[in-house]
Chain A
Amino acid sequence: MYKILSKEMLNPVVCRMKVEAPRIAAAALPGQFLIVRVDEQGERIPLTISAFDKNEGSVTIVTQKIGASSADICAMEAGDCFEDVVGPLGNPSDFVEIPDEQLKGRRYVFIAGGLGTAPVYPQAKWLHEKGAVVDVIIGAKTSELLIYKEEMAAVCDHLHICTDDGSEGFHGLVTALLEKLVAEGSQFDQAVAIGPLIMMKFATLTCKKLGIPIVVSINTLMVDGTGMCGACRVTVAGKTRFACVEGPEFDGYEVDFDEAMRRTGQYRSEEAAANEHHVCKIGRGK
């Protein structure tokens, strides 16, 4: 059993939890994810790791209430236990292999959309500590939904905020803000986008136009997360790849985003039926 050490709501639909998982904390690196299962009846839900503390033996996860399973996660409180937490899964980000002297001064721009802001945090932190120049763009629909502003400001050189409705920061999409930064003279050696597939697709198109290489972190359907089920198939450079063991990060230029978006919706009708009938049981045993 994996105990929740602390929990807080980052906005009305997003919660952050620190979970006791010493083996995962000891092995995790930026870019990796994990899978949780709330209880015996629960799904295996892949979540990104937004922090890990080897000394404390804890990992931090951020979840948004979307369907029945994510609502069950968000209903749990500090002191409760997950039935299962397994990881770290996937490959670490490529830059963890790059020698420090090469990272120093390298200019990174992170494009973080919605919940995707959480996994950007450990990456920005890692690079910032190694002396890279880190810009982070955080985008959300509206000011209230922005997460990780203060945390991110502490681990990057320049933080840029944008909202779709203009309620905070730049009025517009992350892609428009990126174009604006470049037009104003910012130069980037590498972009990294993490967020909804549609956002990563357009971030990639914008980067292509601007001539910036881009890495994207693909979130797919998944059962086991160890290469066994193949639900996470994604076409990269015309080849089928398993996001769980060969990803989750791929060269954005090579990803077939349209197929990835279609595949993510495969169980939508089954899930809609489940949401209708699902009664959350979390906390009832107490």
Chain B
Amino acid sequence: MAERIPRTPCREQDPKVRAHNFQEVSYGYNAEEAQLEASRCLHCKNPRCVAACPVSVKIPDFIAKVKEGDFAGAAGIIAEDSSLPAVCGRVCPQETQCEGSCILGVKGESVAIGKLERFVADYCRDNAVKVPAPAVEKVSKPAKVAVIGSGPAGLACASDLAKWGYDVTIFEALHKAGGVLVYGIPEFRLPKDTVLKAEIDAVKALGVKIETDVIAGRTITIDSLLDKEGFKAVFVGTGAGLPRFMGIPGENLCGVFSANEFLTRNNLMKAYLEDYLTPIHAGQKVCVVGGGNVAMDAARTALRLGAEVHIVYRRTEAELPARKEEVHHAIEEGIIFDMLTNPVEILGDDKGWVRSIKCIRMELGEPDESGRRSPVPVEGSEFEIETDTVVMALGTSPNPLISKTTAGLETNRRGCLVADESGQTSREGVFAGGDAVTGAATVILAMGAGRTAAKAIRDYLEAK
């Protein structure tokens, strides 16, 4: 058998340089690299990668087009299933989805599916390539549909509905569309004005209207949309935006921030740019508590703002829930990982500012329900880490505003909206999906849920 071609490496900004700027870390493939990488795909008869993709992108088909050099054709195939390819190519946890199930990965390295998807989207955008529109059947009863939230779930749902002929309006609470893609994910992972804006513009080009500065549950209610504004169905894709804290003493000291606050100041409000007025505080030394993607994003942002940065995590590197690439990048850039360490108290100075974190050493015990070995405190091992800034990246839960202001909309104990597999909630005509239903998860799962709910909305309106 011929020698296998190794996985094509992707060019990146030098870690020493990028630690001081907010430009994108990865440069992505050029056409030659993409075609070489595409030639590695075995085109399995039963492609496991497609089954592992929450929106079922026809991966081997688009990769075949890349190999032929037909990049517009590749984009057309992706567009049948995904409205945000440049985003997903960058932020999906490919190692646990498509690439994680690639047959090449069993003995060697999987095809770089994410990087190929990104290449196709970037190439078509940068070269203004006209992407063939997927053929779709229009619905027989067009109607007005409201989508609450312009994050991944809302955008995916709105795209499908608009393609089928519905009159779709997205209501967004913030002043910019994109949800977590705009307030949460930093510029160095997902450039806003080029990559993200182009994909949102593409959704608008389908006829989707986006009304920003409208908060469902305050400015409007789901009832007012259905009763007064003539919408026939509503999709709720409001995400999980409420930050969690540890509930330990000292968390309200000055210098303790939620990762949401820290990242929103930097990403949405562009605090890192000289001419933007929103302030951000990174201090000399920042401790980020948590081990997910948000923790990595906050840590690498603080580093770029000039601080020494530590990740404080109660398990070990093997259990970090963040994407592998983010952890790898963080280490390369000089983030210090304090593993098996759990804060028990934050200590302040006489002015009410953070002085240090009192932590306890942990060891790994038996596996918990998530299958990860659960951390157990080592008695008497308390110690202090001196720091002037603490960022809590412990996860988020859904905002209760909508459930509180909509009669008959059920939530579970964790505050998540209750919806069946299709996205149908306890209220007729109201559908939901994404983090608002599942609790904090990934961009692509939210997009998948948005698309599933779009189908349910179509079935509901066609049967009405």
Q: Which residues of A contact B (CB under 8 A)?
A: 23-24, 27, 37, 41-44, 68-69, 72, 83-89, 223-224, 226-231, 233, 235, 240, 245, 259, 262-263, 265-267, 270-271, 274, 278
**Any chain A CB within 8 A of the CB of B220?**
yes
Q: Separation in Å of the A193 CB from the closest CB of chain B?
A: 22
In the complex the two chains form, is A228's CB within 8 Å of B269's CB?
Answer: no
Closest A residue to B240 using CB positions = A228
Q: How far is the CA of A41 from the CA of B274 in the complex (A)?
A: 10
Determine if B278 and A44 form an interchain contact, defined as CB atoms under 8 angstroms apart: yes
The reply to whether A228 and B279 contact each other, CB–CB distance below 8 Å, is no
In the complex, which of the residues B173, B219, B241, B281 contacts A24, with contact meaning CB atoms closer than 8 Å?
B219
Chain A residues closer than 8 Å to B255, beta-carbon distance: 266
Those of B172-194 within 8 Å (CB) of chain A:
173-175, 183
- B217 CB to nearest A CB, Å: 9
Contact: A228 with B242, CB < 8 Å? yes
Say yes or no: is B22 at the interface (Cβ < 8 Å to chain A). Answer: no
Give 15 new A-B contacts, CB below 8 A, not counting A226-B218, A229-B260.
Answer: A27-B220, A84-B212, A86-B219, A223-B278, A224-B174, A226-B399, A228-B264, A229-B243, A245-B400, A266-B254, A266-B255, A270-B279, A270-B280, A274-B277, A274-B279
Question: Chain A contacts of B261 at CB under 8 A?
Answer: 223, 229-231
Query: How many of B's residues come within 8 Å of A, CB to CB?
Result: 40
Closest to A273 in B: B279
Residue in chain A with minimal CB distance to B172: A86
Name the A residues within 8 Å of B280 (CB-CB): 270
Q: Contact at B254–A265, with CB atoms within 8 Å?
A: yes
Closest Cβ of chain B to A10, distance in Å, is 24
Quick one: which of B245-259 are within 8 Å of A by CB? 245, 251-252, 254-255, 257-258
Contact between A230 and B260, CB atoms less than 8 A apart: yes
Of chain A, the residue at the smallest CB distance from B282 is: A270
Chain A residue with Cβ nearest B278: A43
Bound CA span A42–B276, Å: 6
Q: Residue of B at shortest CB range from A88?
A: B218
> Which residue from B254, B269, B351, B352 sits with its C-beta under 8 Å from A44?
B269
Give A266 to B252 CA distance when docked, in angstroms.
11
User: Measured between alpha carbons, how far is A228 from B254 in the docked complex, in Å?
Assistant: 18
Whole-angstrom distance between the alpha carbons of A269 and B173 in the complex?
30
Bound Cα distance from A226 to B405, whole angstroms = 14
Q: Among B219, B241, B265, which residue has the most Cβ atoms of chain A within 10 A?
A: B219
CA distance A224 to B238 in the complex (A): 14
